[in-house]
Amino acid sequence: MLNLQKRIFKDSKSTDKFETLLGPSAHFDGQLKCTGGVRVEGDFKGGIETDGNIIVGKNASVGADLRGHNMLIAGKVQGNIFAHGQLAILSTGQVLGDVEVGSILIEEGGVFSGKSTVHANGHSPALS
């Protein structure tokens, strides 16, 4: 995951900086709006909106709409995704919802069920 994470976030302003972390034993229900990166390792319900990157860890469960720059999904997401840059679904990842992205990468074993819109210029206007 680390090599793919570096590749996806290479052009990002916050490569290794995740200012908001929801740990593996945490449960959150509500709307999160912030700047900077967000990493979810626990259970999250509601919505996340950031100008940074979002990582959903392998054991995370997210029932939320996600809005951010680049996204790396290793756990389960039920909700719509709006990624200004790239969405990557790892082999352990599941996305059940519609996505609007600049580009998409799905590793073998990764699950995507929904409608996808990939913008030709590589950048989704969803966050513009």
Boundaries of every domain in the chain? 2-127
SS3 17: coil
Tokens standing for residue 97: 């919802």
pLDDT of residue 7: 60
Per-residue burial over 16-45, b = 16 or more CB atoms within 10 Å of its CB, e = otherwise: eeeebebeeeeebeeebeeeebbbbbbbbe
**pLDDT tens per residue, range 9-55:** 555 554 457 789 999 999 999 999 999 999 999 999 999 999 999 99
Inter-residue contact 41 to 28 (CB < 8 Å)? no
Q: Give Cα 78 to chain centroid, integer Å.
A: 11
pLDDT of 70-119, one tens digit each? 999 999 999 999 999 999 999 999 999 999 999 999 999 999 999 999 98
pLDDT band at 60 (very low <50, low <70, confident <90, very high): very high
* Whether pLDDT at 6 is above 90: no
Q: Model confidence at 128, in pLDDT bands (50, 70, 90)?
A: very low
How high is the pLDDT of residue 120?
A: 74
